[in-house]
Amino acid sequence: MTNKPWQDKLIDIEPYVAGEQPQSADIIKLNANENPYPPSPSAAAAIREFDGNTLKKYPPIKPTELRNAVAEHYALDSSCVFSGNGSDDVLAAAFRAFFNSDMPILFPDITYSFYPVWCSLMKIPYKVLPVDENFEINIEDYAQPNGGVVIPNPNAPTAIGFGEEKIRRLLDLNRDCIVIIDEAYADFSGYSCVGLIKEYDNLVVTQTFSKSRSLAGMRVAAAMADPYLISYLDAVKDSYNSYPLDSIAVKAGTAAVRDEEYFRIVTDKIIATRQRVSEEMKELGFILTDSRTNFIFARHVSLSAKEIFEYLKSKGVYVRHFDLPRIDNYLRITIGTDEDMDTMLALLRSMPGILQG
C-alpha cells in the first residue's frame, strides 16, 4: 500500500482516553470522579433565570465576575486569577505558556494521563519520575535540571496527597522554572497551596469546578498565580480562543463559588462517605492508599482488579480500571452517594472469593 503524500503530514498522536460515559440512568457511575450531588442550588437558579436573548452578544473577554468570586474565595487580588473551559483547557494553556524549554518537563510516572498527551501534541520534551512502591512522590527526585514541573496534589489516580512542607521543598528546588500544581482534588484534602503564590512567583495552581463544585458538564476552571504569569496565560488563551467561557458558564460558575455553605456541606459529606466506605472495604480484604480525594484507589488481597471490575460492570456499577504498568491490579472508585456506595459494597460482599468482614 502506498501512502498518499499528505499522510506523513498528519499529526502523530495517542489521544487521551476518558472513562466510559454510559448514558443509561439505571447504572451507578463511579468511574469519572464526578460529584454525585447536584451543583449549588444558586448555580442551577442562575442557569434557569438566564436570559437567552442575551446570547446574541459575545461573553465578556475576561469573565471578571467569575475571577473576582474565585479571588474572594482565596483572599487574593483578582489579577492573580485566570479562568478557562475546565482545567484541561487551563492546563493546556499553561503548558503552552510556560513549557518552552529544550529541557524535559518532569512529572510522576503514575499521574494524570493527559500530561503526556499535551506534551506530544505541543512537542514538549518530558521525563517521568517513578513514584515509590507505596506510590509516594519523592520530592528530591525533582532536584534535576528541567524545563518545568507539573504534579497533581493530591495525585491521581493514586489519591495520595502531600502537605506544605513538601510543596515548599519542591518549589525551593525549582526556582528557575515554572511549577504547576494541579489541585483538581485539593478541596477533598483539606490543603491547598494557593497561599504560596504570594511567596513563589514561579508557582501556578490550577483548580477545577468539575469535581468539588459539581459542574463537570459546564467546563469551568481557574488558575492562580502571580499576575505576571496570569498575563501570559491570558496571552496564550487570547491567541487561539479569546472567548473561552460562555455567558451561562460565567453566571453558573460565579454562583457556585459564592455558595460557600453548600460547598462545605457537599465536600464534608463526600469525605465522610469516603472514610466509611474505606473502612468497610478494608474488612472485605481491600488494600487502600490514604485517599485525600473524592475517590478510592484499591487492590484486593486475592481477587484481581480486572475480575472485580468486570463483575461490578455486569451488575451495572462502573468503576475505573487502568490497564497500565504498576497499577493494573488497582481500581479507582469514585465516591458516590451513601446509597450508591452501599449498593457497590453489597455487590462486593456477594462476590465469590471476597473476605467476609
Grid cell, residue 244, equals: 473561552
Query: Which of 107/311 has CB closer to ligand PLP?
Result: 107
With contacts defined by CB under 6 A, name the span among 81-89, 164-172, 188-196, 230-238 that binds ligand PLP: 81-89
Count of chain residues binding ligand PLP (CB under 6 A): 13
> Of the candidates 46, 106, 151, 184, which one interacts with ligand PLP according to CB under 6 A?
184
> Of the candidates 70, 221, 225, 333, which one interacts with ligand PLP according to CB under 6 A?
221
* 147 near ligand PLP, judged by CB under 6 A: no
> Of the candidates 29, 39, 88, 142, which one interacts with ligand PLP according to CB under 6 A?
88
| Least Cβ distance, residue 214 to ligand PLP (angstroms) | 11
| Least Cβ distance, residue 156 to ligand PLP (angstroms) | 4
Query: Which of 256/348 has CB closer to ligand PLP?
Result: 256
> Of the candidates 153, 208, 214, 254, which one interacts with ligand PLP according to CB under 6 A?
208
Grid cell, residue 199, equals: 511567596
Q: How far apart, in Å, are the Cα atoms of 93 and each of 104, 218, 229?
A: 18, 18, 11
Grid cell, residue 135, equals: 506510590
Query: Which of 44/216 has CB closer to ligand PLP?
Result: 216
* 152 near ligand PLP, judged by CB under 6 A: yes
**29-48: which residues touch ligand PLP (CB under 6 A)?**
33
Query: Which of 87/174 has CB closer to ligand PLP?
Result: 87
State the CB neighbour count (10 A cutoff) for residue 38.
12
d(CA 186, CA 22) in angstroms, rounded, equals: 27
Determine if the peptide bond prior to 157 is cis (ω within 30°). Answer: yes
* 183 near ligand PLP, judged by CB under 6 A: no
* 83 near ligand PLP, judged by CB under 6 A: no
* 212 near ligand PLP, judged by CB under 6 A: no
| Least Cβ distance, residue 208 to ligand PLP (angstroms) | 3
Query: Which of 162/311 has CB closer to ligand PLP?
Result: 162
| Least Cβ distance, residue 105 to ligand PLP (angstroms) | 15
Q: How far apart, in Å, are the Cα atoms of 233 and each of 62, 102, 214, 221?
A: 12, 20, 25, 13
d(CA 113, CA 151) in angstroms, rounded, equals: 12
Query: Which of 211/299 has CB closer to ligand PLP?
Result: 211
- Smallest CA-to-CA distance from 340 within 12, 28, 7 is with 28
With contacts defined by CB under 6 A, name the span among 43-51, 197-205, 208-216, 231-239 that binds ligand PLP: 208-216
With contacts defined by CB under 6 A, name the span among 17-25, 47-55, 80-88, 196-204 that binds ligand PLP: 80-88
> At residue 224, what are phi and psi to the nearest 5 degrees?
-120, 130
* 187 near ligand PLP, judged by CB under 6 A: no
Q: How far apart, in Å, are the Cα atoms of 244 and each of 111, 170, 235, 312?
A: 26, 32, 13, 38
State the CB neighbour count (10 A cutoff) for residue 219.
20
For 81-98, the DSSP string reads EEEESHHHHHHHHHHHHH
Q: How far apart, in Å, are the Cα atoms of 246 and each of 259, 310, 329?
A: 20, 39, 41
**227-256: which residues touch ligand PLP (CB under 6 A)?**
none
> Residue 240, SS3?
helix
d(CA 134, CA 124) in angstroms, rounded, equals: 29
* 112 near ligand PLP, judged by CB under 6 A: yes
Residues of this chain that interact with ligand PLP (CB under 6 A) are 33, 86-88, 112, 152, 156, 182, 184, 208, 210, 216, 221
